[in-house]
Amino acid sequence: MYILNSNFTFLKNVGDISEVKLNELKEAFKNYPEFIYQGKNNLLFRKGVSGIVIQPNQLTYVTQGDVEQIDLEFIISELQKLHELLNLSQSSVFGLRFEAIENRNTNLMEKSRLIIKDVSDIIEAQGIGFRFMIKNEKFFGDIHIEPFIKDPQKSFFNVILQSSANINVNESHAFVRELFDWSLEKIKKAANELYK
């Protein structure tokens, strides 16, 4: 599975970033060679296809690549370091968002139409996607599974999940791992069932 893009986000009020704090951030994240400054509340530290985004209401780590290359320990460590530098409270809602594709070796546009053929015929659908609304005691959100328009031999997944309550940023590794692994497991199983 290839992650086209992903956002690992702590949602919280960041507040204004002073010139002194900005210099501390630049020093702390100097291993990110590209720095984009869009005003004191919109910052991006980028290194290749990964980066740290600071906005007024969230701190986000963005990346892409093969799912095996996504290093959750590193991602959360970078976000924790950012929390400490900005002196933010350790309580935060966590959001996970990613888009991914996976090879299926069959034409999913055609297969997807067969799942609800009568309805797809009525509206002359080329292909059919599914949206699943998720809510449990730990998190809620949406999962979309559909044929990848650019290549009907691939599944496309869009996962948008958020913690149901605040989590402790310093203890977030286990929660993020559980959420990410749960997402990957469920989308693969659901796609296998949909497109068998």
pTM metric for this prediction: 0.91
Q: Which residue has the tokens 């497109």?
A: 195
Query: Smallest Cα–Cα separation from 64: which of 100, 28, 90, 31?
Result: 100
- List the chain domain ranges: 2-194
Contact 95, 164 (CB under 8 A): no
Contact 100, 143 (CB under 8 A): no
Q: What is the pLDDT along the chain (196 residues), one digit of tens a residue?
A: 999 999 999 999 998 888 898 899 999 999 999 999 887 688 999 999 999 999 999 999 999 999 999 999 999 999 999 999 999 999 999 999 999 999 998 888 888 877 777 887 888 888 888 999 999 999 999 999 999 989 989 999 999 999 999 999 988 999 999 999 999 999 999 999 888 8
- Rounded distance between C-alpha atoms, residue 161 and residue 180, angstroms: 9
Joined together, the tokens standing for residue 62 give 């963005």
SS3 state of residue 111: helix
SS3 state of residue 12: coil
